[in-house]
Structure 1
């Protein structure tokens, strides 16, 4: 809204941006639904004195807006998390973002030696259950609670080296590397989520990473090594408290997505005698 001041028009709004919310709905059948929202709120209010005279008496604090999502100008952007299919069956609690990239690096020397590395970047995976983290070292600096039930989300970066050491060793098959990329990605995704109905337990991101890498090497003899990065992108359970110490407690179904800072987990797995 425009206001006149000193012969000029002044227009303002204030609010809260990037209020990130994750929400899980759980049905009695075991099927989960999940959304992640990024919410922005703007108020068109009569707070000219705050700008001109430093008088904040008419301002609604942005923290209040964040915690209440008040009726005003509200913009909501939903991330395109989609349910994962495992062998043609929709997964009960597995979701992914379709944003990954296929990477390849090929080194050919005059001697004829060959090095082919393929990979995937930005493979965003999330499951709403079957994940925990317990039994880790605790000391006076530790504030992270142990849990047997949490949302597990990550953005997988993986690169795998093929065993072919010369051009003559590469199979003369059209689309060989493109199809192998799809096959490896499928194994990574299926190992992360487990069977479509019951899923698979994850005691830690480390254990899941190792099993994903191990399954790739067990499945594909032409892959000699694999390097993986899996940051732990946190979805923290939300409870709201007011100045009157009244706590609004959710049923472990509303989460605060936080990807900065995040835990970093990185490892390589190679066949004996192979090179990364």
Structure 2
């Protein structure tokens, strides 16, 4: 659904337009006292809703904010961040800039994905300037309106999770096309995409403590992972991907009152039992919960959203 300020009437027709810049890649290094470095790598997408209809209908570009200007703004604002900054805070900074600096811009939508560069340890000691790439990307979407309304969402993409037991799939609908056997013992593997929306609706509602968004992101990620796996020794049984997805989303809402909604997408990445036999040898490979064929083509696709009654998804 388009934002309220996105649709105008032109020549008796509803007209909606926006323009922006995608995949603006920027890395920012902060050098702290004592020699320790910090780095982030972001891919930034910007979309502006603005009063530049004339560019479309009358060949007048005077109100267009050039997409190259948007790209340059990303680097300029990254330079201005003298202190270590979260991906959410940087997205808010950019979005507020576009709606306040340009009279014709009514809404700015900023999406950023952050690569998971993690500090390495050498001989048991954290390295001052060495990093390795971890699992998953930290994402955010910020929508800022000139009126002051602000929506902030965070998320994670590409979080790969797998457990070798405590998963099954039984008592599902069967018909003449069903060939899948029931099981109480299988590998459960997925690549989680999650997003969650914060309940505050203006800049003034954001907690002021430094590192708030990064800490919340790490805490939400921990709840998702812990719910998927269960206790370290016995684990927790998953009767379906759907059930586990719901438990993960429910636990996020239960743990974080500041989060109003959460959306999860969890493809079922299959590990198929391998049995190989011939007429002369019935047990070249006999499957005993040990040898699998990993495949993600095709794979099951499961997704759902969970929100509080007051939430606007």
Question: TM-score normalized by structure 2?
Answer: 0.56
Deviation at 1:237, TM superposition (A): 1.2
Report if aligned partners of 1:98, 1:123 keep a CA contact under 8 Å in 2: no
CA shift, 1:243, in A, is 5.3
Q: Which has the higher contact order (CA 8 A, sep 6+)?
A: 1
1:250 positional shift: 3.2
Q: Distance in 2 between matches of 1:196 and 1:98?
A: 21
Answer yes or no: is the 8 Å Cα contact 1:106–1:115 preserved in 2. Answer: yes
* Shift in Å, 1:242: 2.7
Distance 1:191 1:128 in 2: 15
SS of residue in 1 equivalent to 2:276: strand
Counterpart of 1:221 in structure 2 is: 257
Matched, 1:151 2:187: yes
Flag as ranges the 4+ runs of structure 1 deviating above 6 A.
Answer: none
Equivalent-residue separation in structure 2 for 1:101 and 1:242 (angstroms): 46
**What residue in structure 2 maps to residue 174 of structure 1?**
210
The counterpart of 2:150, out of the listed 114, 125, 134, is 114
Q: Is the 8 A contact 1:103 1:119 kept in 2?
A: yes
Does the 8 A contact of 1:161 with 1:226 survive in 2?
yes
Instruction: Measure the CA separation in 1 of the matches of 2:281 and 2:180.
Output: 23
Q: How many residues align?
A: 180
The DSSP-based 3-state class of the residue aligned with 1:247 is: coil
The structure with the largest helix share of the pair is: 2
CA RMSD of aligned residues (A): 1.3
Q: Deviations over 1:168-215 (max 9, x none)?
A: 000111111011000000000000000001100100000000000000
2:296 corresponds to 1:259: yes
Aligned to 2:139, the other structure's residue is in SS state strand
Q: Helix, strand or coil for the counterpart of 2:254?
A: helix
Task: After TM superposition, list the pairs within 5 Å mapping 1:1-276 onto structure 2.
Answer: 98-242=134-278, 244=280, 246-248=282-284, 249-276=286-313
Helix, strand or coil: the match of 1:121?
strand
Q: What displacement does 1:253 show? A: 0.5
TM-score, with structure 1 as normaliser: 0.64
